[in-house]
Amino acid sequence: MFAGFDVDVIVRSLGYLFGTGMVFTLKLTVLAMAGGIVLGTMLAMMRLSGNRLVSLPAATYVNLVRSVPLVLVIFWFYFLVPYIAAWVIGAEQPVKVGAFASALITFVMFEAAYYCEIMRSGIQSVSRGQVLAGEALGLTYGQVMGSIVLPQAVRNMLPVLLTQTIILFQDVSLVYVLSIPDFVGAASKVAQRDGRLVEMYLFVAVVYFVLCFALSLLVRRVQRRVAVPS
């Protein structure tokens, strides 16, 4: 299988693979992470609410999204978002939504469900006594969350947040099914053009392994640094 393995095709394609493909992958990962954390935090606050009219819709959304394969969600949003947008603004024709915008919406909505559970667990890890102490001092709910609960919650859940982001980085490769030139999509185009599938897909696997392994080591280091001494 490795007879005639052509390293030169990889070297010639590095500019396209990293300049176009990896840049797209990292851009989508960072934006989806930011949007997912913001939306996930909102969902976590809703799930922790004592009002069932607030907590039940959030719980339903989280459980539904976490029960559906990501690739199916990608197809849903790619084909349905134009019609949903047309319905929202009252347009007669589907709104043209670019592939990047569709992918970003998909990953923000999908990852928010996972970040929600991470945020919720982090918030619940903070002692209830500290919340009561803050309320006894006359702090509002927002002040208690912002000054007491969330800083400690973020410290507790930071390693898990980073781990989920690594998973997100890997999952972004699924936009390949939409023919979007992410890192995998860019490698696929080169492989099909030059007839070098083994070289390109092996190179992609090595790059993902190196990056994810390095990030995993970083997560372990962060986990040791933020760990509360017993």
Summarised one tens digit per residue, pLDDT across range 55-113 is 899 999 999 999 988 888 888 888 877 887 788 788 778 777 777 888 898 899 999 99
Element (H, E) at 68: none
CATH among 3.40.190.10, 3.40.50.300, 1.10.3720.10, 1.50.10.10 for 8-225: 1.10.3720.10
98 CB neighbour count, 10 Å cutoff: 9
Q: Check pLDDT > 60 for residue 205.
A: yes
pLDDT confidence of 3, banded at 50, 70, 90? Answer: low
End-to-end CA distance of the chain: 53
Nearest to 165 by CA among 31, 51, 43, 66: 31
Give the other-Cβ count within 10 Å of 83's Cβ.
Answer: 14
* The predicted structure's pLDDT at residue 40: 92
pLDDT value for 31: 95
- pLDDT at residue 227, rounded to an integer: 64
Give this prediction's pTM. 0.84
- Given CA atoms 98, 103, 104, 109 in this order, what sign does their dihedral have? positive
| Dihedral sign (CA 169, 171, 173, 178) | negative
Task: For 116-143, write each residue's pLDDT tens digit.
Answer: 999 888 888 777 787 788 778 877 777 7
Q: What is the per-residue pLDDT for 228?
A: 58
The one-letter amino acid code at 223 reads: Q
Condensed to tens digits (0 to 9), the pLDDT of residues 158-201 reads: 888 889 999 999 999 988 888 888 899 889 888 888 788 888 88
Residue with tokens 């918030």: 123
Torsion of CA 183, 189, 190, 192, to 10 degrees: 140
Report pLDDT for 168.
Answer: 93
Q: Region 3-22: what's the mean pLDDT?
A: 83
